Amino acid sequence: MAERIQHQHCPSCGSVAIQNCLSAKDYTVSNEVFDIWHCESCSLRFTQAIPSAEEIGPYYQSTSYVSHSDTNEGLINRLYHLVRNFTLKSKLALLRKVTGLQTGTLLDVGAGTGAFSNMMATNGWQVTSLEPDDTARKVAKEKYNLTLQGPSDLYYLDNNQFDAIAMWHVLEHVHDLQGYLNQFHDILKPNGKLVIAVPNYTSYDATYYGSTWAAYDVPRHLYHFSPQSIDTLANLKGFAVKAYKPMWFDSFYVSMLSEQYKNGQGNLVAAFFRGLISNIKTIGNPKKCSSVIYVLGKK
């Protein structure tokens, strides 16, 4: 077995005030159990003993990993696609609102099978798309005729190039957290916006499901963010959080998967109930949502 990455300090803020807080199982591929640690300084949680960037590929090889396979197999994935058609339009509207532009230059990091990149391109945006997974890139080419670049191309992009950079549930997968944020600061235009969507382990559904909360998704999710941890990371990298936006559908999707993990079988009624409670607790405070969209600008 290849040597695993064991963090001796917080991968975000660098603090050594870290400790084990829970263990979670990989229900998607390997059935392995991974420890999740907590940083007392910035509140980031992170998965320990993770495979390296070169070794983690096999943990994504599952037909149920919808962002890479674009599969419609199973009820949950069919519902995912149904909701995605709506959320793609809302993402376009959000990018236009936060940038103040109808069209511009966009970097889509972790583009998956290209649905968001295609939506933005067909609405006049000049899009550069990065995606590490070969299967996802192939699907994007076949389905949308998009040529997605590899993730290493990020480090060769020109400074002050993009009006917007978007990461939809991607930052939690990135091994080079520090390098990515540094590069984003360089390639974003002075008034550009960095839009990051990640799960929120301080949400109601995360607390309710505990170690079986599907959005822990170990070991693919290397980090588990809270609003405080994003605020701290942004500040350390020369950004400020300009807005927090809720992702209303995520609580239902995550709860459906979590019900399967917690009880060994799905329960749509229970999942809907937990997702609904989570969203009710979010009203008036998007920082409590199951997943949060953070809009960052340069300081």
Per-residue confidence of the chain (299 residues) as pLDDT tens digits? 578 999 999 999 999 999 999 999 999 999 999 999 999 999 999 999 999 999 999 999 876 654 544 555 655 556 666 677 789 999 999 999 999 999 999 999 999 999 999 999 999 999 999 999 998 999 999 999 999 999 999 999 999 999 999 999 999 999 999 999 999 999 999 999 999 999 999 999 999 999 999 999 999 999 999 999 999 999 999 999 999 999 999 999 999 999 999 999 889 999 999 999 999 999 999 999 999 999 999 99
Tokens of 195: 């839009």
Query: What Å distances lie between residue 289 and 166, 226, 282, CA to CA?
Result: 19, 10, 5
Domain count of the fold of the chain: 1
**Residue 203 within any structural domain of the chain:** yes
**Residue 93 within any structural domain of the chain:** yes
Q: Which helix (H) or strand (E) holds 126?
A: strand 126-130
- Report the CATH number at residue 194: 3.40.50.150
> What's the half-sphere exposure (Cβ side, CA atoms, 13 Å) at 118?
16
**Residue 216 within any structural domain of the chain:** no
The CA distance from 59 to 79, in Å, is: 23
Q: Residue 299 is which amino acid?
A: K
Strand partners, 22: 36
**Residue 130 within any structural domain of the chain:** yes
The boundaries of the domain holding residue 282 are 71-208+239-298
